[in-house]
Amino acid sequence: MRWFVARKIREKVDTKELLVDLETYRQLAVDKLGASDAKIISTDRVVIDERVRMKCSYPKCMFYGTNAHCPPHAMDLDAVRKIIGMYHYGIFTRLEVPPQEFSGPAVARNGTTPGLLKTHQIVTKLESAAFYDGYHLALGFACGSCKSVFCPGQPCSALVTGNACRHSGKARGSMECAGMDVFTMASSVGWDVYPIGGSTSPADVPCASSFGLVLIH
């Protein structure tokens, strides 16, 4: 498929060409990879908020400390801000999922859902497409704990010194673990977002979504 066709890496890319490539990736996400929608956003639309990270630790998430991508092992938020500031654009993806995946008993189960797995697939394939097009620093963020998606019931191998992630080509840290206020970001681009939790009846929620982000250049 197209993301395995390598393009020469260049020191600088013309802005017009970059915008054409970004639109190609946006269309790839929707037309080929299964995203419900995708937007090209400037990185000043990426919202980093310490309160998002706080939600991981208070009350403590069941995945806190269990893998290399979740806090307290996740990157410091000042470092996240600095890195995001070195990019100019990103592809922000949305995948609509059945509300029951994220509500009621699903919250207590907090395990693998088709929506979370699909979002990881969309993000990693978009990141790969950009990489082989010469954007070698493309960086992807998915949704939910990678441990719940790829390594349920297993210790995270990446937490052992000298070991790598078992699924480094497939697993990415979540936007939330990087402190991104995904709900505010989604609302700002015109996507409907609703609070969903253990007390939510799926019938009362018009839609649910899983989000991803790939920083390109």
Q: For residue 144, which amino acid is it?
A: G
60 within 8 A of 66, measured Cβ to Cβ: no
Q: Is the pLDDT of residue 103 over 70?
A: yes
Decide: pTM greater than 0.85: yes
39 within 8 A of 92, measured Cβ to Cβ: yes
Q: How far is CA 134 from CA 11, 31, 89, in A?
A: 10, 22, 15
94 within 8 A of 36, measured Cβ to Cβ: yes
**What per-residue confidence (pLDDT) applies to 1?**
46
Mean pLDDT rounded to a whole number for the chain: 93
Structural domain count, the chain: 1
Give 149-188 pLDDT, tens digit per residue.
999 989 999 999 999 999 999 999 999 999 999 999 999 9
Residue 21, helix vs strand vs coil: helix
Domain that holds residue 50: 12-215
Share of the chain above pLDDT 70, in %: 94
Query: What tokens appear for 76 in the block?
Result: 């410091």
Structural domain includes residue 211: yes
Structural domain includes residue 127: yes
Give 108-148 pLDDT, tens digit per residue.
555 568 999 999 999 999 999 999 999 999 999 999 999 99
